[in-house]
Structure 1
Amino acid sequence: MTEFWEENFVEKQEMWGLEPAYSAVLTKDLFVEKGLKNILIPGVGYGRNAQVFCDSGMTVTGIEISKTAIEMARKHYGEQMTIYHGSVSDMPFDSIKYDGIFCYALIHLLDQSEREKLIRGCYHQLSTQGYMVFTAITKGAPTYGKGKQVGKDRYEIHKGVQMYFYDKASVQAAFENVGLFEIVEIEENQPFYLIKCKKSG
């Protein structure tokens, strides 16, 4: 995984442009409405989705597996966010409890035990009354069922990229114990679920 993303960022640089994803803007609006200040973004990439949170006065910490992506984030956004170099599988990187966590288009790239570990790791670092939002690809995507099947609802789309495709039942099963309160279907470059959770008590 490290190699794949490192090569991709070296070769394609700002492959998604510098505009934030639609789901990042929606999540920023939720976090502003709830008055959240301290945000963690696992899989921050080169920072395009982090910037909307910074621009709204939030403090952002990222985790990123690719050194090249971190260098690109520094080039575009300077030192305004802390970014830990490493895999989300190695969370936590600090002992901070965050008000908000935003995890964009990452969870579906992991295998089942890694997905479970990411959800647990994020929930563990969430403060009480904090919110975490994940985006995950749905079975409505044109790539669902394409490529080599490597598990239930999981396919190798390109060499080195295996994707797990969610439906509402699998979202419910994965997130029901971590404060799931809303699943929203949104259309970006792919159909995604915006999965919203709140940690209470």
Structure 2
Amino acid sequence: MAEFWEEAFKNKQEMWGLEPAQSAVLTHDFFVSHGVKNILIPGIGYGRNAKIFKDSGLSVTGIEISQTAIDLAQKHFGKDLTIYHGSVTDMPFDQALYDGIFCYGLIHLLDKDERIKLISDCYKQLAPGGYLVFTTITKEAQTYGQGTLISKDRFALFGGVNLFFYDEATLQEEFGKAGLFEITTVTENYPFYLIKCQKKP
């Protein structure tokens, strides 16, 4: 995966533009209204979803597998943005506890063991009362069922990407122990779930 994303960011640079995703806007408003001060963004990319949080005065830390993406993020948003270089599968990178964690469009790239570990690792880094917000692709996406079936609801697609497609049953199964309290849908490039969890205060 490291080589795939490094090549993607080298070749396509800011491939999704600089405007935040709709999920990031919704999560920003939710975090601000709930008094979140410091957040972790696993899979921060080149930072397009970080800016809206930074502009509101939140402290933002990221994790990113591609050094090219980190360089782009620091070019756009300054060197004061802390980004750990590595895979989210190697979390934790620090011992900090965060008020909020926002993980956009990443978990569906992982296999089941990696997904369970990511949710668990993020939950462990939440401060008591903190919020975990994930977005992931749903089975309503037109790409569901395309490519080569790897395992249940997981397919090898174009260019070497493996995608797992969630439904509400799988969300309950994987996020249920992480304080899951709300599932909504949001349309990005694909239909996404916006998943909210809270750690007990």
TM bucket by the smaller chain?
over 0.9
Query: Could you report, residue by residue, the CA deviation over 1:2-46 in whole angstroms, capped at 9, with x for unpaired residues?
Result: 000000000000000000000000000000000110100000000
Report the counterpart of residue 117 of structure 1 in structure 2. Answer: 117
1:54 aligns with 2:63: no
- Displacement of 1:48 in angstroms is 0.2
Amino acid in the other structure paired with 2:132: M
Please tell me the root mean square deviation across aligned C-alpha atoms, in Å.
Answer: 0.6
Q: Secondary structure of 1:134's partner? A: strand
Q: Secondary structure of 1:133's partner? A: strand
- Displacement of 1:80 in angstroms is 3.0
Amino acid in the other structure paired with 2:31: F
- Displacement of 1:154 in angstroms is 0.3
Report the counterpart of residue 153 of structure 1 in structure 2. Answer: 153
Amino acid in the other structure paired with 1:73: A
Number of equivalenced pairs: 201
Amino acid in the other structure paired with 2:41: I
Give, in whole Å, the separation in 1 of the partners of 2:81 and 2:154: 33
TM-score normalised by length of structure 1: 0.99
- Displacement of 1:159 in angstroms is 3.2
- Stretches of 4+ moved more than 2 A in 1? none
Give, in whole Å, the separation in 1 of the partners of 2:79 and 2:161: 31
Report the counterpart of residue 176 of structure 2 in structure 1. Answer: 176
Report the counterpart of residue 32 of structure 2 in structure 1. Answer: 32
Query: Could you report, residue by residue, the CA deviation over 1:49-82 in whole angstroms, capped at 9, with x for unpaired residues?
Result: 0110001110000000000000000111112310
- Displacement of 1:158 in angstroms is 1.6
- Displacement of 1:135 in angstroms is 0.1
Unaligned runs of 5+ in 1: none
Matches within 5 A, 1:50-199: 50-199=50-199
- Displacement of 1:157 in angstroms is 1.1
TM-score normalised by length of structure 2: 0.99
